[in-house]
Structures are given as C-alpha cells and as structure tokens.
C-alpha cells in the first residue's frame, strides 16, 4: 500500500496536506495556520498537528477550497547560471521557480546548485522521494564538469592530492572519481564525481589546490543525464526513470501516479522565439517583468482583434457568404432574390419576414418639380447689359507714325557698278604665261645611272617591249648575277 493511500485512510497533518496540494511549503503552511487563514470543514484551524483525510475533509485557505491530488510531478531542468535554487529569495534575485511557466503545479528543487553553477536540477512535489535523494546515507552519485584556471596534468602531485581528499573547514572532502577531460589553452576541464552534497564543496577543494574554478556544470544525478537537453530547457521524467530513482532510495513503497507530458519545453527567456542570441545566464527579475507585461499586452490585443470578428458578436459569418447558386451576372440578381424569398418555394412553409412591397413602401421624398421651383436668378440679357466700353475707333485714333515711303527715302549708297569698277588685276592667261619647265619623259631620259637630284634612270637590265611594258634583260650566258649580302 502506498503512502498516499495510507494517508487517505489514516489522515495526514494539515501542513503536509497543503504542501502536497501545492499551496505552500510546510514552513509557509505553518505561518498560514498561525495567521488563522486555514479552515477545515468550516472551522478555523490554529493547531499545527491537526489531521485531515484527503478526499473527505474540506480544506480552505483564504476562503478558497483546496483540492488534493495524488498525482506527482517530476521535472528535469537544465538550470542556467545566475539564478538561485530556492522557492523564495529575500534578496529579490531570480529563482528557478521564476523561470518555469506559471501553468506548472507547485514543485520544489531536490538539492541545491550554486548561484553561478549550471546543470541538471530535479524538481518535484514528491516530498518523500526528495528527502531520500538528498540524505547522505543513500549516496546518490553526482557528476560535475569543472573548468579550472591552469594546467592540471595526469600523474601530477596536485591531482593525486585531490584524489586522496582535501581537508576543509567542515571535514574531509574526498571525490569518488577525478579525471582530466581536455586542455583549452591555459585552462583544464576535469570530471569529478561525488556522492555528498555540501555547500560549494568543489569550489573550495579547487581553491585549496590553487586552481580556481571558472565554470561548473552538473551533468548527471543518479540515473539522470543532460543528454538532448539544451540550456534553459526542461522535460518530465518517464515512469522508468522514476522507478529507477525509487529503486536507488530503497523501501519507499509503491510509486505514486505520475503526471507526465512528453516533449521538451523551455523556461522563460529561453524559448526559440526569444532566443535571438545564445543566452548563457538566466534573465533578471526586471527582464521577466517586462516579458510578462509584453505577453499581457499581446494577449489583450489579440482578444480585442478576436472580438471584432463576426463569430464573437454572435453573427454567423457563413450567412454573409455568397450562396452556391448565386447569379453570375448583375442582371440576374433580382430574379434570384425573388426566387429565394418566394413562399411557394419554401419547403417548411413557415412565413418568412419579407421586405415591404413596392405598393406598401413610403413615397420617397421627391425634389420640387420644375414649375414649383423658385425662378433661378438669371443674368441680364444682352440688350439689358451695359454697353461695353469700347476703344476709340480707327477714325478717332491718332495717325500712326509711318516710316517714309520708298520715294521719300534717301537713296541708298550703292556700290559702283560693274562698268565703273576698277578692272581687277588678273593673272596672265595661259598663252601669256611662261612656259613651265618640264622634266624629260622616260623615253627621253638617259640610261645612265645618275645620282640625285636629277630624274631617276632606269636600270640597265630594264628593257621595254613594243608596247612600252617593262621586261628584264636576260643575262648573258655564263654570267651570274651578283648576290646581295643578307641584311
């Protein structure tokens, strides 16, 4: 028999009932009881040890009924840095609960992760399982990836000292396993496995060795890992994973009903739409408030837009659509309209509200006829108009000043006529010109090869035929032409 069934039969304390119902933690529930804000079966309860039977006792907080459910939630969350692992922070810092959606039931973290530590975090509303997982006697393994400043090599004395354990203020801290993963420049990544959970234990051990921690991430808790879970994402555990956790803790009874939802979801500020750049840390409370305000304004704008639709006002938008047998042309409108409102064509026979006929319509207000209209103000006719001021006629005008006529004009100065002009100096005619010195023709030229400036003589080898065409003189027999040197 499970613990929930035992509690249903025997009754549980009111503080635990409020905690399991998701109203508040046990400590906060005690404060609500002390303030007189809790009622059981209509009576105010101020005693802390009051027992209630789930499903039978009627419990109210601030006059609002509290419903008890036997279903339990188990959430695996990839916690980002710069958020605290608690339900409420007096310093008003971002908590892991602030990052989760408001639609989730009340859950609380199992164990703690530091403010600047990221990695795997389990959240649940199963108090018994959370208590057993964090108890030192159970020894649940926890695996961390640590980035330290400096080089810590294998077989070094510092690494052996870390493996043997380091004395701290609260006792000896000895890891179960230490391994070097890789080197990145002057930094070293280590994998450390522990089964104890103490405040900042890894950071204190590395500071004692002289290797300060630059980054710390928890990658495994028991049988749970971060495989396939991005930063800021969370998912529900499966029934098999919850069964393995119960098996690690020992005798906890039967597994309660698991409220599980498939798929990966994202925390506030880490959704794909909001992730314009890769976020490394959790958003602040101011950023979350701005996000909630923007979400409310968007939802109100969407509601206002939906209210303007015909369906929201109770109007069937299908009536506004054009029927299938609607006329295709404008001249068919009257025929189809009269046919659709004809009482004889109705199958049900019910009288429909029809539009008034033409004879019952009110007479339209018409404008006054032409004979009843006021006489329009007309402009004066031509005979009644004032005579236009005319310009003086031609006979009354001053005589225009005219230019002197041709006969009165001064005689233009004319150039001397051709016969009076001086005889132009002409060049000597061809017959009076000196005879031009002409060069001798080719046939009259000497055959001698004179140099310039005289005319060029023909080569001795050039002869002419009876038609005057040139031809080469053949060489004599036994005489060879002189060869010219190659240039």
Q: Is residue 61 part of a domain?
A: yes
CB atoms within 10 A of CB 16: 15
Q: Is residue 333 part of a domain?
A: no
Pairing of strands 177-184, 171-173: unpaired
Q: Are the beta carbons of 15 and 26 closer than 8 angstroms?
A: yes
Q: Is residue 199 part of a domain?
A: no
Question: For residue 48, is pLDDT > 60?
Answer: yes
CA distances from 31 to 35, 38, 59, 160 (A): 6, 10, 16, 50
pLDDT in tens, 218-277: 999 999 999 989 999 999 999 999 999 999 988 777 888 888 888 899 998 888 877 655
Structure confidence at residue 378 as a pLDDT band (50, 70, 90): low
Q: Is residue 36 part of a domain?
A: yes
Q: What percent of the chain has pLDDT over 70?
A: 61
- The structure's pTM equals 0.57
DSSP output for 44-56 = E---TT-EE-TTT
**Which positions are annotated as active-site residues?**
114
* Most confident region among 225-229, 297-301, 370-374 by mean pLDDT: 225-229
CA distances from 409 to 94, 404, 405, 412 (A): 115, 6, 6, 8
Burial 397-410 (b: 16+ CB within 10 A, else e): eeeeeeeeeeeeee
Q: Is residue 260 part of a domain?
A: no
**What domain range is 26 assigned to?**
1-69
Q: Is residue 51 part of a domain?
A: yes
pLDDT of 383: 60
Number of domains in the chain: 1
CATH assignment of the domain containing 23: 3.10.290.10
- What would the mean pLDDT of 192-208 be, rounded to a whole number? 92
Tell me the Ramachandran region of residue 269: left when phi exceeds 0, alpha when psi lies from -120 to 50, beta otherwise: left
* Most confident region among 224-238, 277-291, 353-367, 457-471 by mean pLDDT: 224-238
Pairing of strands 118-124, 213-221: parallel
Greater confidence (218 vs 46) lies with: 218
pLDDT in tens, 67-94: 877 788 999 999 999 999 988 888 889 9
pLDDT of 141: 94
Q: Is residue 281 part of a domain?
A: no
Q: Is residue 392 part of a domain?
A: no
């Amino acid at each position: 028999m499970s613990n929930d069934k035992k509690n249903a039969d025997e009754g549980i304390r009111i503080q635990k009932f409020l905690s399991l119902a998701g109203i508040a933690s046990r400590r906060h529930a005690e404060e609500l009881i002390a303030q007189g804000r809790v009622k059981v079966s209509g009576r105010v309860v101020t005693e802390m040890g009051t027992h209630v039977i789930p499903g039978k006792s009627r419990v109210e907080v601030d006059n609002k009924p509290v419903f008890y459910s036997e279903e339990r939630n188990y959430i695996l969350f990839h916690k980002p840095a710069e958020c605290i692992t608690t339900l409420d922070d007096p310093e008003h810092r971002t908590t892991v609960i602030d990052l989760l959606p408001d639609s989730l039931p009340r859950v609380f973290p199992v164990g703690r992760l530091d403010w600047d530590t990221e990695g795997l975090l389990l959240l649940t509303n199963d108090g018994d399982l959370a208590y057993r997982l964090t108890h030192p006697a159970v020894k649940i393994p926890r695996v961390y990836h640590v980035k330290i400043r400096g080089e810590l090599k294998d077989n070094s004395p510092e690494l052996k000292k870390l493996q043997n354990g380091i004395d701290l203020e609260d006792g000896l801290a000895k890891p179960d396993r230490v391994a070097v993963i890789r080197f990145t420049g002057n930094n070293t990544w280590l994998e450390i496995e522990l089964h104890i959970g103490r405040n900042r234990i890894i950071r204190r051990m590395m500071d004692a060795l002289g290797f300060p921690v630059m980054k710390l991430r928890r990658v495994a808790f028991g049988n749970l890992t971060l495989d396939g879970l991005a930063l800021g994402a969370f998912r529900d555990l499966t029934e098999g994973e919850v069964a393995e956790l119960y098996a690690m803790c020992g005798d906890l009874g039967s597994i309660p009903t698991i409220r599980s939802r498939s798929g990966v979801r994202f925390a506030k500020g880490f959704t794909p739409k909001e992730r314009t750049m890769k976020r490394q840390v959790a958003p602040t409370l101011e950023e979350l408030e701005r996000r909630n305000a923007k979400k409310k304004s968007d939802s109100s704008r969407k509601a206002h837009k939906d209210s303007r639709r015909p369906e929201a006002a109770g109007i069937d938008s299908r009536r506004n659509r054009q029927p299938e047998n609607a006329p295709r042309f404008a001249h068919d409108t009257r025929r189809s309209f009269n046919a659709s409102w004809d009482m004889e064509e109705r199958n049900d026979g019910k009288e429909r509200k029809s539009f008034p006929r033409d004879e019952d319509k009110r007479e339209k207000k018409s404008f006054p006829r032409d004979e009843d209209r006021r006489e329009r103000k007309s402009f004066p006719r031509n005979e009644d108009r004032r005579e236009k001021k005319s310009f003086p006629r031609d006979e009354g005008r001053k005589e225009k000043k005219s230019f002197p006529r041709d006969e009165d004009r001064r005689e233009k100065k004319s150039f001397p006529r051709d016969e009076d002009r001086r005889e132009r100096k002409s060049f000597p005619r061809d017959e009076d010109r000196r005879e031009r010195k002409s060069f001798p023709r080719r046939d009259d030229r000497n055959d001698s090869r004179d140099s310039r400036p005289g005319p060029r003589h023909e080569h001795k080898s050039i002869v002419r035929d009876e038609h005057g065409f040139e031809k080469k003189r053949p060489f004599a027999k036994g005489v060879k032409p002189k060869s010219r040197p190659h240039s």
